[in-house]
Amino acid sequence: MNNTTRILLTAVLCTAAVACTKKVKETPVAETTPPPAQTEQPTTSGVYGPADLDTDACLRQRVVYFDFDQDTLRPEFQAIVGCHAKYLRDRPSSRMTLEGHADERGSREYNLGLGERRGNAVSSAVQANGGSGSQITVTSYGEERPVCTDSNEDCWAKNRRVEIVYTAK
């Protein structure tokens, strides 16, 4: 490499080094957008407390619905189950009972078993999201406690459910 090339290369590198270290003054820009609206949050520390069971929108949802003759959790209920699992993680002394229900179709024994399988499906999902199995009890009522007594699809859909009941907050 000849001298001229070396000098040029050195000059370019020095200029680049100076340009990279040069600080640019930024002028403050006035914020024209309003701050975002406050949303409900469990607490400032991100840990759920007993009062959140009644104030948090996610925790207030305590019913998980199922399709006909199914015991698998529908995707739209995953977030709800995740909130309740977090509550159990944050509150080790809390306890929940999962009450499984079925519609009036099928025998009493079949519906009791189906209600239990549905309760176990929610229990498994809560545990998969970090909840402790020792905090969960599953009970099946089968078709014995309907919320709707008509004999049509809309009514039956309301009865195919698992209710989340906190026995210790």
Q: What is the mean pLDDT of residues 42-54?
A: 79
Task: Give per-residue pLDDT as tens, 92-113.
Answer: 999 999 999 999 999 999 999 9
Q: What is the pLDDT of residue 56?
A: 95
- Band of pLDDT at residue 15, cut at 50, 70 and 90: low
Query: Does the pLDDT of residue 79 top 50, yes or no?
Result: yes
Q: What is the CATH number of the domain that holds 149?
A: 3.30.1330.60
Query: Does the pLDDT of residue 33 top 80, yes or no?
Result: no
Q: Does any domain span residue 137?
A: yes
Please report the beta strands in the chain, taking only residues with DSSP state E, as ranges in sequence order.
63-65, 95-101, 136-142, 161-168
Query: Does the pLDDT of residue 41 top 50, yes or no?
Result: no
Instruction: Classify residue 69 as left (phi > 0), alpha (psi -120 to 50) or beta.
Output: left
Residues 6+ apart with CB under 8 A from 52: 42, 43, 59, 87
- Band of pLDDT at residue 154, cut at 50, 70 and 90: very high
Q: What is the mean pLDDT of residues 54-72?
A: 95
- In this structure, of 4-13, 69-78, 92-101, the range with the lowest mean pLDDT score is 4-13
Q: What is the pLDDT of residue 2?
A: 66
Number of domain units in the chain: 1
Q: Does any domain span residue 92?
A: yes
Q: What is the pLDDT of residue 46?
A: 85
Q: Which domain holds residue 80?
A: 52-168
Q: Does any domain span residue 41?
A: no
